[in-house]
Structure 1
């Protein structure tokens, strides 16, 4: 990738480069912004304590949008199924029975030597679902097929994947959210 420098910056860089190539010593030019001469002391100790300014306020962290959270939730679900590590997925769901059931199944499969292979879903759309139910969102996804084995000796099983709609119930937690319910819509 090529970067273009503004003409003034390029000219300044060329001037410094050309000036640095000269055999003549650099002339000492006084700083025109300073009205008092610089101290001539050779001591290396500072003449006064450095001043520090404490911040006047702590910046507020940006609140995560419901859509960004649901995309992250989907990524964590994929990671959980691929690795068997359920902790991060469980940490962003509270009281979500469907979430707990999925995490329990993944833990059982991996404990028995099984596995899950799933490339996740592509989020097609996220929108508020029911204006009467605060925090409900519809997420339309295109899910990749899932291949799983419930134990090391069990047969490979397959879930087809495809277009699916989920209704999530979210609750604010700090600057983010947690999933309190997850339902698959059947069409």
Structure 2
């Protein structure tokens, strides 16, 4: 077992050839973001032995996906999918202290996503995304997207409005204005060390 989460990530991720690694530091936290061909992994630390949050998603042309795949201690396969929102997303179920049991949990989470990949289906109406479906292994995660206004000042009827909007957008009469795009995030390829015979 490595000495801390930083060493663990260096060892774990070097085999997948990240295209870039970005290090950010604030007064209270630091983070490492690993970029791959079409995806990213961000790990936020309180210190080298405590992870505050692990998130993955797609990344293209400098733009992060509207959703994030989060490590979550009490979710099936340690996987929770949420919309990327303005709010600060703190949760004790995201936190991992460095020990053997938590290393195993994070391995399960990362290995599932890195070796199997995932599928992202984005539904839009008149150019505005309104629904994302993320398929990981045999699980389907549905995200009904909130607008910037609904995120900024939530109102009591917002959830009903979002549901009605989805029903309207999915009606047959709106088929011409509706688009569906699919992104297949391929499994990451490990470095293969060639041996001389």
TM-score, normalised to structure 1, is: 0.25
The answer to which structure has the higher strand fraction is 2
TM-score, normalised to structure 2, is: 0.24
